């Protein structure tokens, strides 16, 4: 029986330039999807998968993240005196849902560098890396299934999704080989290839289960464009020493890393809400009808 994965790392030190000016004074990870910040969806996903030891890699201007997951006694006192029991219960649940630790990256040198910063906290254990731009539907079982793959094989697992050639250049891309249990074995991986150079149509999504050997691989990675340490390059080195599996899925992911998909995610998540979904759906239906008349 392989060691159970108990720790997650959430890199959140990026500057969020695609969401300026909103991200100038507030972390992009704190931008709300309806009424919940994006990073809370990621933490809740980890907790659903049984992981409560979470390290958030932060940077300058990210203190709001820490405040969000901390207790707010003034707010709790106000809610209690006003008899707002449901809101009070929700606020306390946010602070109690997981053991969240924070570590500053300092100089943002890329995703690989952010993961490398976690080495002392993770130690010689397997762990999960979860990117905040990828929000998973709460009904999604992607992370749970990836953890099951690790527990069976004891090897790193990378989430993959099929994309058309026109979009593959936005992601890492793998060269696959068929393996057991519907998995693929990753033979090679490249960062944001041109469409005509992509080894497949399988793009890397923001969920990874890593053996601790990824840290040794990260130490060997040379800085690339912009002086950044690419996680993709470390995975490429890891492949030379041990099998890395790819777990392919189709549905349940929202990309909130760009403005259009952020809006799509907000709309879809709002429609699924029992409290506002029906009324919001009626509004959208009416809006579409009015647009047709213009």
> Model confidence over 77-133: pLDDT tens digits?
999 999 999 999 999 999 999 999 999 987 778 899 999 999 999 999 999 999 999
Please say if the pLDDT value at position 225 is more than 80: no
Given this model, what pLDDT does residue 215 score? 97
Are the beta carbons of 13 and 105 closer than 8 angstroms? yes
Instruction: Kindly report the number of other CB atoms within 10 A of residue 22's CB atom.
Output: 13
pLDDT tens readout for residues 150-206: 999 999 999 999 998 888 888 889 999 988 878 999 999 998 888 888 899 999 999
Task: Say which residues have a Cβ less than 8 Å from residue 168's Cβ, sequence separation at least 6.
Answer: 193, 195, 198, 201, 203
pLDDT recorded at residue 13: 86
Radius of gyration of the chain (CA): 20
- Band of pLDDT at residue 1, cut at 50, 70 and 90: low
Average pLDDT, the chain: 91
pLDDT of the residue at 105: 87
Higher-confidence position of 119 and 252: 119
Predicted pLDDT at 45: 95
pLDDT at 10: 97
Per-residue pLDDT, averaged over 215-229, amounts to 88
Residues 6+ apart with CB under 8 A from 109: 223, 227, 228, 229
Percent of the chain whose predicted confidence (pLDDT) is above 70:
99
Could you give the domains of the chain?
7-257 (3.90.550.10), 258-294 (no CATH)
Whether pLDDT at 293 is above 80: no
Of the chain, the percentage scoring pLDDT greater than 90 comes to 70
Lowest mean pLDDT among 53-57, 147-151, 211-215, 255-259: 255-259
Whether the predicted pLDDT of 294 surpasses 80: no
For residue 23, is pLDDT > 90? Answer: no
CA distance linking residue 126 with residue 119, whole number of Å: 11
Q: Say what the pLDDT of residue 291 is.
A: 79
């Amino acid at each position: 029986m392989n060691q159970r994965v108990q720790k997650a790392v959430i890199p959140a030190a990026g500057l969020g330039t695609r969401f300026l000016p909103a991200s100038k004074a507030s972390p992009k990870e704190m931008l709300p999807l309806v009424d919940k910040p994006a990073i809370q969806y990621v933490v809740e996903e980890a907790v659903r998968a049984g992981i409560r030891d979470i390290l958030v890699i932060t940077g300058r201007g990210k203190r709001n993240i820490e405040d969000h997951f901390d207790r707010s006694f003034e707010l709790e006192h106000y809610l209690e005196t006003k008899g707002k029991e449901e809101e009070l219960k929700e606020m306390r649940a946010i602070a109690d849902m997981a053991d969240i630790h924070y570590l500053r990256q300092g100089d943002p040198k890329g995703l690989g560098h952010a993961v490398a910063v976690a080495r002392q906290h993770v130690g010689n254990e397997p762990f999960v890396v979860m990117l905040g731009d990828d929000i998973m539907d709460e009904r999604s079982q992607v992370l749970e299934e990836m953890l099951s793959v690790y527990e069976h094989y004891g090897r790193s697992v990378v989430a993959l999704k099929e994309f058309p050639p026109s979009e593959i250049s936005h992601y890492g891309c793998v060269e696959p080989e068929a393996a057991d249990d519907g998995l693929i074995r990753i033979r090679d991986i490249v960062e944001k290839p041109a469409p005509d150079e992509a080894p497949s149509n399988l793009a890397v999504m923001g969920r990874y289960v890593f053996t601790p050997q990824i840290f040794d691989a990260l130490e060997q990675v040379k800085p690339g464009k912009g002086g950044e340490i690419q996680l993709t390059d470390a995975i490429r080195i890891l492949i030379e020493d041990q099998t890395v599996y790819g777990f392919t899925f189709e549905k349940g992911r929202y990309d909130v890393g760009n403005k259009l998909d952020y809006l799509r995610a907000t709309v879809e998540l709002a429609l699924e809400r029992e409290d506002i979904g029906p009324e919001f759906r009626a509004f959208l239906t009416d809006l579409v009808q009015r647009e047709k008349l213009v």
